[in-house]
């Protein structure tokens, strides 16, 4: 076997191994309903005994109704992930309903660390976008109308903003049973314990009084 061919094979198998661990493995059984009472620590939830599985493990009801619209942001996101629908465990998918009030409803900049999101607008006009990573930090944004579909790549900061005169209703599919969410503002100014105000003042080119004021604000889980 020639040295060049050996190098090629080694590189190929390194690529395969890296690719294999970059994504969730394919399920090895029909389902793995999450057993939230299990004390076994795994990357996800342990499986419920199949003999104890019932139809309710695969059912969530209520996405036909809007969620509570918060007055500060004018929005609500109802996420149905593995915590609310245990049958999603290991299946690599979840769903969310977005409701945004007219004119100013906002789902502020946030990140899903474990999922790509694909959004479909059912009603209203929505301004959406995401920002690419370094070094360009390019804003990819679009105004969406009823029937439009937009995708937000995994791990990138993105947002949704109602610029129309009617409520927005949209549904999102996410490529993880537990996509997670990191609201940018809350993560920075509402962390527990707080990030050093000196560090934040230097980062954002603000005075410490402004940083202290921002840190004293009430940041909700969706900020």
Taking alpha carbons only, the member of 158, 146, 152, 145 closest to residue 172 is 152
Mean pLDDT of 7-32: 57
Helix, strand, or coil (residue 39): coil
Q: Residue holding tokens 């996405």?
A: 63
Mean pLDDT of 178-200: 96
Residues 6 or more apart whose CB falls under 8 angstroms from that of 96 comprise 77, 78, 79, 80, 171, 172, 174
Q: Residue holding tokens 């049958």?
A: 87
Residue 140 belongs to some domain of the structure: yes
* Burial of residue 175, with CB atoms counted within 10 A of its CB: 0-12 exposed, 13-18 middle, 19 or more buried: middle
pLDDT at 16 over 80: no
Q: Residue holding tokens 């969406």?
A: 144
Where are any strands of DSSP class E within 60-146? 75-80, 94-100, 106-111, 117-123, 126-131, 139-144
The pLDDT value given to residue 15: 46
Residue 150 belongs to some domain of the structure: yes
Cβ(90)–Cβ(57) below 8 Å: no
The pLDDT value given to residue 211: 96
Domain of 90, CATH number, reads 2.60.120.10
Residue 167 belongs to some domain of the structure: yes
The pLDDT value given to residue 42: 84
Taking alpha carbons only, the member of 61, 109, 115, 120 closest to residue 85 is 61
Residue 202 belongs to some domain of the structure: no
Local structure of residue 34 (DSSP, 8 states): B
State the total domains in the chain: 1
The pLDDT value given to residue 29: 83
Torsion of CA 133, 135, 139, 140, to 10 degrees: -60
Residue 143 belongs to some domain of the structure: yes
Give me the percent of the chain exceeding a pLDDT of 90. Answer: 78
Specify the range with the lowest mean pLDDT, choosing from 26-30, 150-154, 156-160, 183-187: 26-30
Residue 155 belongs to some domain of the structure: yes
Copy the structure tokens of residue 87.
Answer: 């049958």
The pLDDT value given to residue 25: 61
The pLDDT value given to residue 148: 98
pLDDT at 9 over 60: no
Residue 112 belongs to some domain of the structure: yes
Residue 196 belongs to some domain of the structure: no
Taking alpha carbons only, the member of 169, 196, 199, 213 closest to residue 78 is 169
Beta bridge partners of 109: none
> Which residue segment(s) compose the domain that 92 sits in?
62-186
pLDDT at 6 over 80: no
Separation of alpha carbons 167 and 162, rounded Å: 8
- pLDDT band for position 169 (50/70/90)? very high
């Amino acid at each position: 076997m020639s040295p060049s061919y050996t190098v090629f094979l080694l590189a190929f198998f390194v690529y395969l191994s890296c690719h294999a661990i970059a994504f969730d493995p394919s399920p090895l059984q029909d389902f793995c309903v999450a057993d939230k009472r299990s004390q076994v620590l795994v990357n996800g939830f342990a499986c419920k005994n199949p003999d104890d599985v019932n139809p309710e493990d695969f059912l969530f009801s209520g996405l036909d109704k809007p969620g509570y619209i918060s007055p500060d942001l004018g929005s609500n996101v109802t996420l149905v992930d593995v915590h609310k629908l245990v049958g999603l465990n290991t299946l690599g998918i979840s769903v969310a309903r977005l409701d945004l009030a007219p004119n100013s409803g906002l789902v502020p900049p946030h990140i899903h660390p474990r999922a790509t999101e694909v959004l479909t607008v059912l009603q209203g006009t929505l301004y959406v976008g995401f920002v690419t990573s370094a070094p360009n930090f390019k804003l990819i944004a679009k105004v969406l109308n009823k029937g439009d579909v937009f995708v937000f790549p995994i791990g990138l900061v993105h947002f949704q903003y109602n610029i129309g005169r009617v409520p927005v209703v949209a549904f999102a599919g996410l490529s993880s049973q537990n996509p997670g969410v990191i609201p940018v503002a809350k993560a920075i100014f509402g962390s527990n314990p707080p990030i050093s105000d000196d560090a934040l003042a230097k980062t954002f080119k603000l005075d410490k009084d402004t940083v202290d004021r921002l840190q004293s604000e009430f940041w909700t889980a969706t900020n």
